Amino acid sequence: MDQIEIKNIKKSFGSHQILNDISIHVDSHEIVSILGVSGVGKTTLFNIVAGISNPDQGQVIYNQQDITGQSGFFSYMLQKDLLLPYRTIMGNAILPSIIKNTSKKEAIQKAAPAFKIFGLEGTENKYPNQLSGGMRQRAALLRTYLASKNVNLLDEPFSALDELTKRNIYKWYLDLNQKIGTTTLLITHSVDEAVTLSDRVYILSGQPATITKELVIDSPQKRTDDFELTEDFLKYKKEILTSL
């Protein structure tokens, strides 16, 4: 069971209030997106959920336990890829395991098969500066995946990918989510991405930002290959666009 409840979060930087009374919840195995324009406060909210920064008010509750201000419960993929330039891709991928005192050999064994899934075969011994932007982002996603927490917080994880790769990755992520039963909270700029991936979408807008809409994506055609071409898809998209 992985239940996250974010209750009445408020946050200001100096006299500038960014977040006002944000409450959202994510249930086990759900993929929930947060959609909002640039600068609205999405990353700020994520840092609070991840326990990296403290809210001025409100709580982050994980499985009935108050974890406000504590990090290490969730895998968090930050907006920048943040690969360590002086470690190879494999070295980067196994870092979360090594930090938890797994032996290097064991960590590599666990990581190696995942390189194929992420389309990163052959990059194991390369350094991040030898990879393209999209590959770096996949490598960062791979590392987040290998951090193997039940809950993933992903801050615009697919933004540097081309359309085709994106579609494959969406499919792959949905499969993975069903297979392993991860729970995901996702930030995105892309309405299409939100509708394709999510079970629910929250829209964050205003200054200070509040949750202005919650949308449940429960079309029966969801998770079919042609979902993007259905009327339901367009209907959701329209609904989101009008409230942004």
Ligand X SMILES: Nc1ncnc2c1ncn2[C@@H]1O[C@H](COP(=O)(O)OP(=O)(O)OP(=O)(O)O)[C@@H](O)[C@H]1O
What is the binding site for ligand X (CB under 6 A)?
13, 18, 36, 38-44, 79
Bridging pattern class, strands 57-62 and 4-13: antiparallel
Those residues with Cβ within 8 angstroms of residue 55's Cβ, 6 or more apart along the chain or in another chain: 9, 10, 11, 19, 48, 68
Rounded least distance, CB 48 to Mg ion, Å: 13
Q: Which residue is nearest to Mg ion (CB)?
A: 43
Kindly write out the interface string for residues 110-149 of this chain, putting x where it contacts other proteins by CB under 8 A and - elsewhere.
----------------xxxxx----------------x--
Measure the CA–CA gap between 188 and 157, rounded to whole angstroms. Answer: 8
Interacting residues with other proteins between 24 and 83 (CB under 8 A): 47, 50, 52, 71-72, 74-76, 78, 80, 82
Q: Among ligand X, other proteins, Mg ion, none, what binds residue 74 when CB lies within 5 to 8 Å by partner kind?
A: other proteins
Measure the CA–CA gap between 78 and 143, rounded to whole angstroms. Answer: 11
- What's the one-letter identity of residue 140? A
Rounded least distance, CB 194 to ligand X, Å: 13
Token reading at 30: 């759900």
Measure the CA–CA gap between 173 and 115, rounded to whole angstroms. Answer: 14
For residue 27, which phi and psi values (nearest 5 degrees)?
-100, 170
Binding site for other proteins (CB under 8 A): 47, 50, 52, 71-72, 74-76, 78, 80, 82, 84-87, 95-96, 99-100, 126-130, 147
